[in-house]
Structures are given as C-alpha cells and as structure tokens.
Amino acid sequence: MEQPFYKQSSQEVLANLTTTREAGLSQAQVQDRLETNGPNQLQAAKTSSIWQKFVDQFKDLMIAILLVAAVVAAFTGELTDAIFILAIVIINAVFGVFQETRAEGAIQALQEMSTPNANVMRDGRDQEVSAPDLVVGDIVYLEAGDVVPADLRLLESASLQIEESSLTGESVPVQKQDAALPDEDLPLGDRSNLAFMNTNVTYGRGVGVVVATGMDTEIGHIAGALANTAETKTPLQENLAQLGRILTYLILGIAALTFVVGMIRHQESFLNMLLTSISLAVAAIPEGLPAIVTITLALGTTRMAARHALVRKLPAVETLGSTDIIGSDKTGTLTQNKMTVEKMVVNGQVEDVANTSELTGTAARLADIMALNNDTKRTDEGLVGDPTETALIAFNENHGRNLDELFAKMPRQDEIPFDSERKLMATLNPAPQGYLVTVKGAPDELLKRVTQIEMNGEVRPLDDEMRQRLLQINGDLARQALRVLAFAYKLVDKKPAEMTSEKVETDLIFAGFVGMIDPERPEVAQAVAEAKSAGIRPIMITGDHRDTAAAIAQRLGILDKNDLDTAVISGSDLDAMSEEEFADRVTQYSVYARVAPEHKVKIVKAWQDRGKVVAMTGDGVNDAPALKTADIGIAMGITGTEVSKGASDMVLADDNFATIVHAVEEGRKVFRNIQKSLQYLLASNLAEVISIFVMTLLGWNILAPVMILWINLVTDTLPAIALGVEPAEKGIMQQKPRGRTASFLSGGVGPAIIWQGILQAVIVLSVYGFALAFPDHHGEELVHADALTMAFMTLGLMQMFNAINVKSVYGSMLNRQAFANKLFNWGLLVSLIAMAAVVVIKPLNPIFHVSNLDPYQWFVVLVAGISVIVIVELVKLVQRVIFHKG
C-alpha cells in the first residue's frame, strides 16, 4: 500500500507525481491530466425540479388519504368539503416546497468558495492560471492572503501559517513545515506538511505540489459525503406517518363495519348506507391536521426569527422541542473565535488581565514588547494578521495605550522572522540610548537564551530557582489550555552588524509571559446550565486539541472536573474503537477533540442509534455533513460558511448558543400545541364515529352525510388552528425531553382522546334518547327529526366546548389562562355561531336535514354541551389527586 503524502519526503512525492520543483509540469502533461481527472472543481449535486419537489409532498400517507377523501366527497356531491380538503393539501405542499432545502445548495456554496487563480510553475516559468485548470503535479506558490487552490504537499515553508478552522476546527493558524511526518494515521489538523483546498494563508510563504484536485481533495470528500448523506426524518414526520397508518386502518375498519351493520338491519338503502359510511370515514379523518401542523410550525418560525433563530425547514421547529443531545462545535460557537490575552506573568506572579486596569513598570515594558514585536496591520475593517498577534495589539488597545505614538518613536529597523525550528521572532527598534531588541516565542526556547529578569522595574540575574518557577508557571498555564508566549528584551549601543539568532537572541532580559485562549462566549455557560435543567445533554465536538477542548468544556459546565480523564476522547482514539465498542461507550463522552468530519457524522449517528434526538451546531465546511445527518442541523449566521448554512435546518442569526435554548422552548411549545389540536380533533371524530355506529345498532335515525361534513368543517378549522398558538404552559423547560420514541399520543393525550371521545358520544346519545322519551309539542311526526337535530347540535357545540378542556391534559381550565388566547376566543365564538346558524335560519333547515328547535330544546342542547366541561374538570381533579398529575 502506498504511503500517504505526508509520510513521503519531498523527493518521493515529486517522483511519484512525475514532476520537478524547478520546471513543474509541461503543457502536454497538464492537458493529459485534465482529460484524465477532470477540472479542479467540486461536482454539483443532482437537483430536483420544482415540480418534482411539489409531487414529492404528496407521498405522505396522510396526504394520500386526504386526496382519496376529496375524490369521494366530490363524487358524493359534497363539493364544498372536497374543495376544502384539496385546498389544505395544496397549501401544505406549497409550504413544503418553499421551506425545503436540498444538498445542491450546500454543494453550490462549496463551489463558489473556490479560488479563481493560482500562481504555478509550468514549463520552467512562473504562470498565473485559473484554479479549475490545476492538475495533480502542478507546483504552486503560496503567500499571505492567498486561498489554497488545491490540496498540496509542501516543498518549502518560510514561516508559513494557514488558517484551517473551517475545515479542521483548529482555532489558531497552523504552523506549516516541509519535512516528512513519520506518524501513522495523523488527524487532518496534525498533517502540518499539507495545505488544504479553500483554507487561508495568514502568514509567511511556501511552495507546494498539488496532490489532489476537485472531489479528491479533503473538502471534496466533505462535498461527496454531503451529497450522499440521506435526509434524516424528524420525529414530527415519523409521528405523523405513524399516526396516518393507525388512522387509516381504524377508519376503514369502522366505516366497513358501520356499512355491514346498517345493511343487516335494513336501516337505509344501499346507496344511503354507502354514502353514510363514506361520510363517516371522511369525518373520522382529521383533514385539518396537516394545515394546523403547517400553520403552527410557520407561526413558530416567526416567533423564533424574532429571537434570532432562522428556521429553514418547518419540521425543525418541533424537532428542537424533542432534542436530547446538542452536539456543538467549539470554535466560533461556544467560543468567540478570537484569541484573547487572559493571563499575564510579570515580576514572577500570575495576574488575571481582567483585574489589571493600568499597566505600569514591568507590565508596561511587557506591553511595549507585545506591540513592537508584532506584524499586525490596522485597516478599515479592523486588525488584520495572525490571531495571536492581533490579540496582543488588542490587549494594548483595551488598556488605553497609544500605540501610534509608540510606533512613531520606535519604528522597526530590522527583524529576524519567526521560524518553526527556533520558535522565536526578534525585532530591532531605536531606543533613547541605542537600540532595543525584542524577542517573543515559545517559553522553553526563549528561557534558554535569558540570563536576567526584570522585577518591579529592576533588572537582576535570573537564578535557577526563579527559572524553575517560571517553567512551572508555564506548565500550569498550558494545563489550563492557554497558549503561552514568552517575551524578553535587551538594550544594545549600536545596530548589530548581522541580524542573526546567534548575534541577537542571546543574553536576554526576561519581561514576562502572556497566556491566551479563544475564550468562551459569556452567555454560553448559563445556556448550558439551562439546557441541562431541561434534560438536554450538551456535548462538544471539535477539531481543536484535547486539552484546549477539555478546558473550555469544563469552564462552560459541559464537563465536570472529575470527568477529565474519562469523558474526553480524541479522533485517533475513536478510530481505534470498533463500531460496536464506540456504540456501547458513546454515552460516556462529553467532549470529542481532534475529530475529522467523518468522525462528527459517526458521533451523531451513534447517539441517534441510541434513540436520541440530536441537534448539531457548527459553522465550518467540516461541519456540513454532520449538520445534515443530525435530526436538526444548526448553523452560525455570522461566522458560519455558506456551506454549513446550506446543510442546516436552522441558522442562528446572532451566533449565540443561548438562542438554541430559547428555540428549544419554542419547539416544545409547538409540539404541545400540535398535541392539543390533535387531541381536540381526534376526540371529536371519535365521538362522531361512536355516535353514528351506536345509532345504527339501535335502529335510530342517523346523522346525514351533510350533517357530519358540516360539523367537521365548522369544528376542525378555527378552534383547532387557534389551539396551535396557545401560550407555553408553565414549567415546560423543567420537563425532560420526550425523545424519539414519544408520539403525539404520549403524555396522557392518547387516553384523554379515548375517554373524552366516549364521553361526548354518551352525552350525544343521551340527548337523542331523552328527546325520544320526552318529546316536545311539535308532534309525533317530528319527534325523530327533533331528536336528530338536538343530537346534531349537541355533538357540534360539545366538540367546541371540549376545545377549552384540551388546553391541558391534567390541569384545570377554570382560570384566566383558559381565555388568554384571543384568537381562540374569537375562533370559538365564530364557530359556535356558524354551527347554530343552520338550525336558527329556517331556509337552511332543509339543506342540512334539521328542524327548528324551540327554547326548551335549545336549553337541553346547551346544558348537554356545557356538561362536557364540568365532567372533564371533575375527572381531571380526580387524576390530579390520585396520580399527582398536572
């Protein structure tokens, strides 16, 4: 097996690719390789047409049932109901197409990131070519500001640093080298002699040979994984599909049984009994549910947008409410993606920068060196340069220091650039008496060259005791995941004849250390605590180093101090595990460090296989496959790449982790409101089915098809929709996530549907029986007509009164909260008027096969209708006392 390029020497790589450093490829070689491998571009994903996406919306079982119901309604002459059902289905499909986002959007964003040009060596001369024309074996030149045009094996590196956070998650630029790396299976972030396509050169220069182009590059692998990653069905979609299957079988069975019983009893003609059975089936279908779900989700997206959470796919709103795991990237999501000086070591003491208001004495000297030994540039867009160096300038500015005055007095005269071997950088600046040499770099390397130390403004020899103390401090800061830089200086009478390390970087005076870190966002710790109180487990998935990740996770509360050894795993450790072993141990880990993109997908799937609903946050290209695999992918709106946004279900407009917690609350409210609407609809439909079936068994007159459809039309619209915008119930964020296995019928909703449906049917049948037993003055010939009309009105009014009951499964509705929703109040009132109108307005009586009721009969109907509230309240009271519910 051929060794990976990072393990090969420069000579081996060039020989294997049939190219040379001095002349590069010939034009003939370039043409041949272009024809063989194709252009250096990412392939576009296969896209679906708008029409195909629209058709796909009708593949859902519930939608198919509704379409059949619409056709049947149309054939039986109920055009109003058919038009109503079709309108609901079409609106639902339009919403679905509008919100749906496919992988081609993410792939297109990847393509748009490609660099337009590259500087190469071909035919022995320097040339500028279009990036898509690059081929394997091309010699490419890199310098600060360039975007790497393809995957390169570096042949030369002069202080070359490349920012790879969008690919690897590394929070600081990577120092590159050109030597072969002997280690096996190095993570992407540790392959320091490779440069990857679409990463950014921040410092230095280099030369590399192209080793992969297009879809063969590391970013190409991500694009391929993204295109091949299947969409994960959300819990909402799974619940609706399951509910649709259950209802289909029940409805068909009940309709068939009603038809058979009616025919056996010779109660109606074959045609009338068939129409009644079909009407009953149509009535039993909650045709308003898809529209209610869509409207509830859409209103949820509006509320979430006001709180900076932009939803791109409607089901994502509800999915948030069932989230068990939030897998978060570290850099830019939990942290600020901005290196910051946190600790300062002067006079042999460690100080928190937050506690230092004014810099004097040795601290001022240290700050001067930070600014002078620095290549940061100030532009209209802000500070530009290496993040470590910009942090040093920001430290000075945050302490109100006038750097323009310092730079004017002490302009740089000469320098020794940083290199990865000696790990130091030196500058020469004019001083009042001679010149000032400043040196910064790795603490262990710099301390080897230090002979003195400045303490409280006084320079004294550096003894062994102090040297050991400084090394111990350096170790302590490093264990806190701080990036430590050391600073030293010396004064010389004249400018050195040669600016070399041997001549300049010796006999130095130690000034101090600074400890830097990409700090956590200030609001995240509170958000993590809130997530935990809601039963959600936050985990960190990052490409950063193990120690850095663990330190940030501990500071945020994701990781307990006692779990540092057992709850943190690296990508290489993950690779060493079998799939089965990792699946068994996945719950042990809260921090996944130094991971590659394929690891992130593996982690998400492992949690999903445990039945967990997983939300994944991220901002980089490397996060895209995991964002798409997760039940809900959450991209960062400010720092996020277009690729991550394209693969996500939701975008955080403010990049604030705390916004996720607010979104979870909204998601839980949306699910509960859909449950309320479903409980209302199914309890009402069950009451209709039982009433008609028992009427058929008893030989009574049964509700006409137009009666059933009118009740269905009036009760299934405004009240049900209004339930979708109910305010959140108290304590909703102290409940545990319902998880993937929970359904719309969980939490007591299923039993409530059954007993409330039966209760309504019993009341309706009781009213019918009462009307037969105690007929009014209308006469014997109208007894059955009046009884049927009273049953019809009782069924309609009672369903709407029961809408008040379903606002809480166990809680009492005899309080102000019952009428806090103004839309519900108006919807209920309009529906009640529409229901009564067909009886009160005499010209409508023959259309709906009803008689005109007198005040006594209306009194019976109203008492029966309101009784459902009283009885349900009593049952809930018993449930609360016995089972401690609500």
Q: Which residues are catalytic?
A: 329
Distance CA 236, CA 294 (A): 11
Return the sign of the alpha-carbon dihedral for residues 641, 643, 647, 649. positive
How is residue 797 written in tokens?
A: 């009014």
Other Cβ atoms within 10 Å of 465 Cβ, number: 8
Other Cβ atoms within 10 Å of 461 Cβ, number: 8
Distance CA 838, CA 842 (A): 7
Distance CA 559, CA 582 (A): 19
Comparing CA positions, the residue from 387, 420, 382, 370 lying closest to residue 202 is 387
Distance CA 317, CA 310 (A): 10
Q: Are strands 568-570 and 591-593 parallel, antiparallel or unpaired?
A: parallel
Residues contacting residue 192 through CB under 8 Å, at least 6 positions apart:
174, 175, 176, 177, 181
Distance CA 44, CA 21 (A): 33
Residues contacting residue 396 through CB under 8 Å, at least 6 positions apart:
367, 370, 371, 403
Distance CA 420, CA 423 (A): 5
Question: CA-based angle 733:541:478, to the nearest 5?
Answer: 110
User: Cβ distance 599 to 311 under 8 Å?
Assistant: no
- 730-736 own/partner pairs: CB under 8 Å, 24+ apart: 732/665, 732/668, 732/669, 732/672, 733/530, 733/533, 733/534, 733/661, 733/664, 733/665, 733/668, 734/533, 734/534, 735/534, 735/535, 735/668, 736/534, 736/535
Comparing CA positions, the residue from 710, 709, 703, 719 lying closest to residue 838 is 710
Distance CA 308, CA 655 (A): 9
User: Cβ distance 736 to 686 under 8 Å?
Assistant: no
DSSP-derived secondary structure for 182-208 = --SS--GGG-TTEE-TT-EEEEEEEEE
- 109-113 own/partner pairs: CB under 8 Å, 24+ apart: 109/641, 109/642, 109/643, 109/645, 109/646, 110/42, 110/219, 110/222, 110/223, 110/226, 110/621, 110/643, 111/41, 111/42, 111/44, 112/642, 113/198, 113/621, 113/641, 113/642, 113/643
Distance CA 457, CA 361 (A): 5
Return the sign of the alpha-carbon dihedral for residues 134, 137, 141, 143. positive
Size of the chain, expressed as the number of residues it contains:
886
The partner residues of 344 in beta bridges, in order of sequence, read 351, 514
Question: CA-based angle 734:735:736, to the nearest 5?
Answer: 120
User: Cβ distance 6 to 191 under 8 Å?
Assistant: yes
User: Cβ distance 176 to 206 under 8 Å?
Assistant: yes
Residues contacting residue 349 through CB under 8 Å, at least 6 positions apart:
none
Distance CA 482, CA 519 (A): 10
Other Cβ atoms within 10 Å of 550 Cβ, number: 24
Q: Which phi and psi (to 5°) does residue 277 adopt?
A: -65, -40
Strands (E), 361-446: 377-379, 382-384, 414-416, 424-431, 434-441
